[in-house]
Structure 1
């Protein structure tokens, strides 16, 4: 079984970016090789990674994920290459179709033909990182670009993938995939849909974790996010494919009626508990370990704020160490 690489999502709970240096430098001693970012309505997906690589060269840096439609292809290639040179380590450039709320509402770009955008950007980036000057008219953009300086460590291009179509694209043409918002027992279905991995390909599983024994706090945090994400079109389709549509019917009805709070409140505890890991750090570690199926190469832990961490923020390194499954 391939050794799994462990990582955390930046920013970490309760810390502004300007206060991250000490803990980022300590991550390898806590059992973490990777740093990751997401991108939505909060921080962008690149600044925190760049800072982390400056503080602790040698960490792997991954985006999980950047919307394919919101940055120019050449700028994205330059950015990943610059990060790889700065960190002198592997960059996992995660790109995905994202959701209309992030692409259109936040960036004013049409969320049209998402699969084609991801496919074309993936094909372009792979060629550029292989050293080619690409002059090409793709279905969704035209480009005339090559890197003037190639990084010593070639960036990988992975795809944010939920269902078979995007998973097959990720492994047939890319360096693998990153997936999220699923239960531990559902990971084998992702592995099966992706097909046999090639040499060096990645399957990254992102897990949302609230390490507290205050179940009410944890479930409230989970509902606040899950009530939104599970009602975005790609995730509705994903959870229909996973067979969770009936359990989400009440939440969907509330969302469609314009009741966002009701959509969150209608999520059954059983769904929240499957998709949002919580409990003591030791209980969370045991739950997280169930996500590590054959085929998974990396785990990204998105750790959220807890009453305990708010009261004692200096314990965050100990919590991170405790969450790391061995």
Structure 2
């Protein structure tokens, strides 16, 4: 069965998060997704609070820009939340917006290479492996987590272009597709990552678009989506009105 979710967009102030978490936790929606956009709210800090304030809903961060974190630090943070809230945490890693990465001095010449190296290292660390790697961007010397999760959380790669979608199928549990408006985008991604990988989809829903949300979710599911996540618009970021439409 396809999972459903909504996004708490960081255009809302962080002090609004708790009320949203409680509303989603009391609903029938499966997942609450959080962004980490520069320079708004931290994804992992928001996820920790959301997990603590809820009892049922899965909390996901989509996505964490990999240029901003050493993979060992990323794995430590993810493992901590996965152990404290087993089975309820999901993470997507991604390039980040390149202009923002440039603003903080973290832009690289090959974002795909960085994403490949970073994701592979984080995944291995979360599996409890000792990792030694000397890549173009990632350098780890016999690094292992003292507290790896008993069951690693779902680890996705955020992707738009075909190269990154293919990378998601190679080094992660699946792919997170952004701003999907056409089911064919889902079909193409599914054909690339294969039948066993996770395909999660962000799709925007406005308050006045007249769309039958349940029918749209079903259409995306038929195209191959495992998780359909609804997000509000820039002018209406609060996801709570979407709960009644799902």
* TM-score, normalization by structure 1: 0.67
Q: 1:74 to 1:58 in 2, by over 3 A?
A: farther
Alignment: residue pair count: 243
CA contact (8 A) 1:11 1:48 kept: no
1:122 alignment partner in structure 2: 119
Q: Give the stretch that moved more between structures: 111-120 or 93-102.
A: 93-102
CA contact (8 A) 1:210 1:305 kept: no
Residues 110, 12 of structure 1: CA spacing in aligned structure 2 closer, same or farther, 3 A cutoff?
A: closer
- Give the whole-Å Cα distance in 2 for the aligned partners of 1:34 and 1:182: 18
Residue of structure 2 equivalent to 1:108: 105
Looking at structure 2, the residues matched to 101 and 115 of structure 1 have their Cα atoms a distance apart, in angstroms, of 16
Task: Name 1:188's counterpart in structure 2.
Answer: 187
Runs (4 or more) in structure 1 with deviation over 6 Å come to: none
Matched position secondary structure for 2:229: strand
Distance across 1 between alignment mates of 2:156 and 2:50:
20
- 1:178: Cα distance to partner? 0.2
Matched, 1:93 2:91: yes
Distance 1:178 1:188, change over 3 A: same
- Is 1:7 the equivalent of 2:23? no
Tell me what 1:275 maps to. Answer: none
Contact 1:210 1:304 in 2 (8 A): yes
1:289 Cα shift?
3.9
Q: Which has the larger radius of gyration?
A: 1
Question: Which of 131, 138, 142 pairs up with 2:128?
Answer: 131
Structure with the larger strand share: 2
Contact kept? 2:10, 2:41, Cα under 8 Å: no
TM-score (norm 2): 0.87
Please state whether the residue corresponding to 1:75 is helix, strand or coil. helix
CA distance in 2, matches of 1:153, 1:320: 31
Indicate the SS of the match to 2:26: helix
